[in-house]
Structure 1
Amino acid sequence: MDEIVTNLNIKILAAQKHESLSYAFMSAETDEIRMVFTYSVLEEFRLIPTSKCEKKDSAESTKLRNQGNRIFVGNPNNASEYVKAWELYCKGVAFASNNTEELALAFANRSAILVHFQKYSEAVKDIDRALDLNYPDHLKAKLLLRKTECLASLGSSKTTSAYEETLEWLDKMSLDNSSRMKFKEKFKEKLKDVSKISNVKVNGNSEPVVPVIKPQDEILCATNGLAVRYDDKFGRHVVTTRKVQPGEILAVEKPYSLILATENMYTHCAHCLRIAWASIPCEHCVFVVYCSENCRDVAWKKYHDIECPVTGLLLNLDMNKLGLFSMRIAILALREFSSLEKLRAELIEIDSCEDPRTKGFSQDGKLYSNKYRSIYSLVTNTEKRSLPDIFGRAMNAAFIVYFIATHTSFFEQTFDKNDLTSMILNEDVMFVGGLILRHQQIIPSNMHTFGEERSLDSADRGSAALPFYSLINHSCDPNVSRNSLAEHVVLYALYPMEKGTQLFDNYGNHYAIMPKAERQRKLMRQFYFKCECTPCQKNWPMYLELPSFHTLIKSRGDRIKVEKSLQKFNEYVDLATEGKVSDKPYLISDLTRMIEVLLKYVTLPCVEVNNVVETLKRVFALHGNRFEIPDLKRV
């Protein structure tokens, strides 16, 4: 897209229209008018959006499967290499044409690596899928042997019938008696090995536990310890209505929508974002996989029927997840109201709200995280954006709505690819384009990372639209943090807070790891504000220069009290580093007690406070989404 915008600018400059067009664009008062303008410019300079898209390709599927085979057969010592092979098999599944031998082979080959990961239930799913397709007869005995091994490992009552079916197919194989006997003996030995493992650890994805809270009447995802306030300095923001303790769960919000990071396209479910060990493909495109038939069907009904023919075209233009998310939210908005007329009426009502605190709240006075109006009402920062910024986003929106109009029936007709005039004159197309442009401005200032833990690192699983959490302002030393679960995001306190304390999250710019000048620059560039938090005002040092409580506390007696409270801290750091926290509920209470004791005797900043807070965050994260490289089966 950057290259397209650059080429358009060259044409505009050559025509000596840059100044007049710039003035006209910046004079536009609504996003819908900006879309009409952008389309008019595209039409004037005959810039018809074009792109290409990868399709189902059995040859490409075979290539990917063979790449996975080379890694798997090489029997690497590094478990991460097996994960690479699994990813290649997953991509091979996505690219295989429907109901083909190549798809059957992709499922079958992936089942082998799932057995290696001790994911026996998932392997059985892949084996059954392969057998239901055009899987070669001469390979079925070997695949059924694998299924029998999996069922035996799971202690399934179906093991015997699978064993008998394996023998039937073995008899159908064109083997001489000697080879057949060797195969049967090998089969029996495998089953003996399985039967010896009475307490086999079967790798599985345990679901994070969602905390149960008592919601308040106004903000349905939050406890009664929080309230939304408004003033001219902070805009809408969140404050405590009572005393809050560190580690306390303050809210549990289910996102309005989630979108998968493009780098996880073949490893996670495109709908629920869970890890899809035994994924199934979209039947039409190669850009999504799903963890189940249910997720595939729900996604198709909610949005993927529109996204399916469009996503690949946008990805080919290097459209990032921001662009894809702006499209997703527009589709969901229409589906929520069933017609564009009802959606227009809803937006007119929201725009007429005169109370800035409750803008986006529903008519009953509540903020619902699953309602589009709660997303639409979030800040856009339009008035603070530069011409190149807004025009670049307008071009993104123009291309998105163009491909929707020409490749889908979203507007109850399919437009001619060369007829931009008809699109300009169509109020529905320009209205939806305006919404997508609005989303393009809302997302960078409001969307949140939806994460997972990978070994010692935190990684992006995708992005989440969280209307309530978007009302929380930034600090370079936040007093709350978020933890992503399978379908929710938990907000918890990091520090003790008195009644009336404003909540502050961190927008990815923490004082301990980023110099003040860089923080200020990044926050201004993306969020359009100058940070005036305490670390910025007092120019706190970065982590390596933070003072210790040993120098901050003058009283020997007080130092001893702090030292006593931290006696087990190093042990807890080791447990958090190793990921061994799930059966140790005392960790959170002990760490929060350490924070309370430290803050009783020290002033911030303090390196020990930083260390304990970061460890608490790690422990919370380990109770959320995790992508762990599975234990390998010893063969």
Structure 2
Amino acid sequence: MLKCSSVDGFKQRCSWETIQSDERGLFSAWLTEVVKSNPGAVENLRQFSSEEERVLFISSLNKVDRFIVQPIYKVKDKEAAKIKRDEGNTAYHKKWYKQAHMMYSMSVVKAPQGDDSLAYSLANRSACLYYLGEINQCISDANLALVSGYPVQLQYKLHERLAKCYILLKDKENAVQSLRVAKKMLEKNKGKMDKEKYQSSMKNILKLGNSFADPSGVKFDNITVVKNVEPENHKVSAKPDKKLKEFSSLLKVDYNPEVGRHVKADKLVRPGDTLVVEEPFASVLYPEKLGTNCDFCFEKLRAVVPCPDCSGVGFCSKDCRDKACSSYHKYECKYQDLVIGLGGSALVRLALRIITSHPLDYFKKIRHHLNVDVESREFKLPYLYVFNLVGLDEERWTEDMFSRTLMAVGLLKILKSAKYFPEKSEPDIFTDDEVFIGSLLLRHLNILQFNAHEVYQLLRGSREQMKPCKNIKIGLAVYPKASYFNHSCHPHIARINVGNKLIVKSLVRVEKGEEVCDNYGPVYYFKSKEDRQKELSSRYWFQCKCKPCSEDWPLLGHSSDPTWRNKKDEGKLDFLVSLYKCGSDFIDHGQRQEAVQSLVESIDGLYEIVSPPLDSLTRAEDKLRTCCNDMGTVIYSDTALKFNPEEKSGNLMTK
């Protein structure tokens, strides 16, 4: 880390970690070498006022070429895929379907395109999923195996399995169609199997066909179909805003020079209202989640669909894979581990992802629109909402800007190697288009430091009870509209995620004209004012003047005496507190809907008669947050695939 003697050490460390989160990475050594080889370069950077000038200056320095870009990624491994497939076959024959599923999944990820293990492992995994009751996933795997080179003479088995799946789903039309194809494929390949095998297989297919007329004549496998719980379809309360469609019409975005853009209530906002529903402009998984969540939509992986070229990421569906591979992943596929090896933070990967998600022409066409505007609330082009977020460039110390610019140049070199730019040029000589993209990377590194949002999923210990539960960080995303919310140490909203989509719910009652605030980390009821101020000034570079700070609200457990708004009403207060306690009981018994109703009524009523802080009000808001978290993506501690001891073995297609 380049140190500045005039800037607080903790503030410098916080900023540095948004560039390099792992000190074992190579970036720090590269930075040190460049600085030593170019005396006075750090001070000379001060003379440049634009991102393009800074990128051009840094790229011309000695030793910048010491960072040699080459593909570093998890390659496909034919032998490893075969070993895992064999292990899957062994587990399957023992009816250890969960273990077999895991082994086949590892084989699928490792297998090169066109290799036998890919198609066979997909087909065999579909058999596991069938017996585990994961019928929709079974269908997806069977169809994927069919287009991945599964032998023609065996394809009738997959179509027969598809028919069984559709029968279980009571989808007669698709079941009949699958049986027709199974029969046709079997007849077509009659000469490639012995007579007894052919007759037995045809008999099974015909029996399945007759099951529609006489179900008693067919003995079905003992399968309990797992019902997939669809995530809630969140929509904003009232109606969408006419200009900012992601926002509820309950809100408006305002601006003043002292606090910048901020969100106010345009109408009364009540606890429980859905205020924002926003897709990310770009998002990245944390490295440790690349094997457990879909790289595109962040959904939990149940039956991983592999990248065709690398073993480093997985997708929840063919659709997600195709979308990723046609945009960002075709550039990042063979360089993702290089960025991680640099020690690059998730924020660095997100800065790159904003670029790789769109072709060069996308940015070239809007280049004349890219003039920083931190006052406007609406823009004509989606990217402008990202570009015009606040990056506090004017407050950066030179050492910080030097480090960020060198990281931007490093990312630019990776883009060149990944053939993001159609015109060829030398690795360390940059064209006008390349310097332009480098300037955008630098802009992203600056603005994301203050505007990136972590993405969460809720881990629950039980399907019956809401507690214990814990929010798990799985990635980072940029939601430019949601970034308009300013901070308060008294959080007004809860941010939840469905996949990588953001939903903002109100926790409090906000009167028309009052500001609606997010919380950037420290809350008044858990941390002292001094600790909060230190964290916020170091991480976000502002002195908080919210009401809890200006009035120095006490910690939780020290606000038992109410501050009455008008007339004192102990009876109503007692009733509303009892409602909060009822809501808490509902949570303990897993009754979220009932809990929300009680908590919303309690919080709304308490705001009518008292002003915060009040311990019972704070606790009610926190309980409502727990309920809101449960409305996003939820995983359970028993997320291992269901095992049914009565499952029966079927005809496994092995080779």
Q: Is TM (by shorter chain) over 0.5?
A: yes
Decide whether aligned partners of structure 1 residues 135 and 52 sit closer, same or farther in structure 2, where only a CA change above 3 A counts.
Answer: same
Partner residue in 1 for 2:7:
none
> Of the candidates 379, 391, 395, which is equivalent to residue 362 of structure 1?
379
Say whether the 8 Å CA contact 2:51–2:439 is kept in structure 1. yes
2:483 aligned with 1:470 = yes
Letter in 1 for 2:421: F
Query: How many angstroms apart in 1 are the aligned matches of 2:325 and 2:36?
Result: 45
* Residue 384 (structure 1) aligns with: 395
Q: Counterpart of 2:584 in structure 1: which amino acid?
A: N
Alignment-derived partner of residue 7 in structure 1: 29
Match of 2:231 among 207, 210, 216: 207
Equivalence for 2:451: 446
> Structure 1 residues 502-511 or 266-275, which shifts more?
266-275
Q: Deviations over 1:420-461 (max 9, x none)?
A: 1x22xx111111111111101111211222332221222234
In 2, the alpha carbon distance for the partners of 1:73 and 1:382 equals: 62
- Equivalent residues of 2:579, 2:602 under 8 A apart: yes
Preserved CA contact (<8 Å) 2:505 2:628 = no
Distance of 1:432 and 1:567 partners within structure 2 = 55
Match of 1:394 in 2: 405
1:345 equivalent in alignment to 2:368: yes
Shift of residue 483 of structure 1? Answer: 2.8
Give me the TM-score of the superposition, normalised by structure 2: 0.78
Partner of 1:411: 421
User: SS at the partner of 1:6?
Assistant: helix
Letter in 1 for 2:596: I
Shift in CA distance, 381/68, structure 1 to aligned 2, threshold 3 Å:
farther
| Whole-angstrom CA distance in 2 between matches of 1:608 and 1:330 | 47
* Gap regions ≥5 residues in structure 2: 1-19, 209-216, 461-468, 646-655
How many Å separate the matches in 2 of 1:60 and 1:316? 24
Is structure 2 residue 285 aligned with structure 1 residue 267?
Answer: no
Counterpart position of 1:574: 588
Q: Deviations over 1:471-500 (max 9, x none)?
A: 111112111222323574232321111121
Counterpart in the other structure of 2:68: 48
Q: Deviations over 1:293-319 (max 9, x none)?
A: 333333334433333343343234343
Q: 1:464 to 1:68 in 2, by over 3 A?
A: farther
Equivalenced residue count is 594
Q: 2 CA distance for matches of 1:235 and 1:402?
A: 35
* Residue identity matched to 1:344: R
Residue 493 in 1 paired to residue 506 in 2? yes
Structure 1 residues 318 and 243, CA, compared in 2 at 3 Å: closer, same or farther? same
Question: Against the structure 1 CA distance between its residues 556 and 309, is the aligned structure 2 distance closer, same or farther, given a 3 Å change threshold?
Answer: closer
Contact 1:203 1:631 in 2 (8 A): no
C-alpha displacement at 1:403, in angstroms? 1.6
The equivalent position to 1:230 in structure 2, one of 245, 255, 264, is 255
Distance 1:70 1:390, change over 3 A: farther
> Hey, what does 1:26 align to over in structure 2?
46
For residue 362 of structure 1, what is the amino acid of its counterpart?
Answer: F
Flag the 1:437–1:153 CA change in 2: closer, same or farther, 3 A: same
Q: Distance in 2 between matches of 1:117 and 1:465?
A: 37
Q: Which residue of 2 aligns with 1:154?
A: 169
- The offset of 1:203, in angstroms, is 2.9
Letter of the aligned partner of 1:357 in structure 2?
Answer: E
Written as runs of structure 1 = structure 2, the 5 A alignment for 1:178-577 is 194=220, 200-211=224-235, 213-332=238-357, 334=359, 338=362, 340=364, 342-347=365-370, 350-351=371-372, 356-358=374-376, 361-362=378-379, 371-408=382-419, 410-416=420-426, 419-420=427-428, 422-423=429-430, 426-455=431-460, 456-486=469-499, 488-543=501-556, 545-548=557-560, 557-566=571-580, 568-575=582-589
Structure 1 residue 374, shift from structure 2 partner: 0.9
Q: Name the one with the larger helix percent.
A: 1
Q: TM-score, normalised by structure 1?
A: 0.80
The answer (yes or no) to whether the contact 2:558–2:615 under 8 Å persists in 1 is yes
Write the deviation string for residues 41-75 of structure 1: whole angstroms up to 9, x where unpaired. Answer: 25467443456222222223345556777888898
Q: CA–CA distance in 1 between the matches of 2:319 and 2:616?
A: 47
> Could you say which residue in structure 2 is the equivalent of 1:634?
644
User: CA 1:487–1:59 in 2, change beyond 3 Å: closer, same or farther?
Assistant: same
- 2: CA distance, partners of 1:13 / 1:588: 57
Question: Kindly tell me: are residues 53 and 223 of structure 1, through their superposed partners in 2, closer, same or farther at Cα, counting changes over 3 Å?
Answer: closer
Whether the 8 Å contact between 1:479 and 1:503 is mirrored in structure 2 is: yes
Amino acid at match of 1:22: V
**What displacement does 1:85 show?**
7.5
Contact 1:117 1:203 in 2 (8 A): no
2:634 aligned with 1:614: no
Q: How far 1:510 moved relative to its partner?
A: 2.6
Q: Secondary structure at the match of 1:451?
A: strand
Post-superposition shift, 1:343?
2.7
Q: Which residue of 1 aligns with 2:651?
A: none
CA distance in 2, matches of 1:48, 1:567: 61
1:53/1:221 CA distance change after superposition, 3 Å: closer
Q: In the TM superposition, what whole-angstrom CA distance separates every residue of 1:65-99 from its partner, at most 9, and x where no partner exists?
A: 567778888989xxxx95x9866654532321002
Q: 1:74 to 1:375 in 2, by over 3 A?
A: farther
Greater alpha carbon shift after TM alignment, 58-67 vs 374-383: 58-67
Counterpart CA distance in 2 for 1:403 and 1:525 is: 31
The letter for the 1-side match of 2:289 is N
C-alpha distance in 2 between matches for 1:332 and 1:138: 41
Q: Specify the code of the residue in structure 2 equivalent to 1:38.
A: I
Q: Which moves more between the two structures, 229-238 or 527-536?
A: 527-536
Partner secondary structure for residue 407 of structure 2: helix
What is the rounded CA distance, in whole Å, between the counterparts of 1:487 and 1:634 in structure 2?
32
Q: Report percent identity of matched pairs.
A: 25
Amino acid at match of 1:623: M
User: 2:125 matched to 1:110?
Assistant: yes
| Matched residue, 1:596 | 604
Mapped contact 2:583–2:596 kept (Cα < 8 A): no
- Whether contact under 8 Å (2:278, 2:501) holds in the other structure is yes
**Contact conserved, 2:73 with 2:310, CA < 8 A, in 1?**
no
Q: Deviations over 1:394-420 (max 9, x none)?
A: 232212110211231x2212334xx41
* Aligned-partner Cα distance in 1 for 2:222–2:88: 30
CA distance in 1, matches of 2:334, 2:583: 53
> For the structure 1 residues 135 and 513, does the alpha-carbon distance in structure 2 shift closer, same or farther, using more than 3 Å as the test?
farther
Counterpart of 2:544, as a letter, is C
With over 3 angstroms needed to count, the CA separation of the structure-2 counterparts of 1:446 and 1:154, relative to structure 1, is same
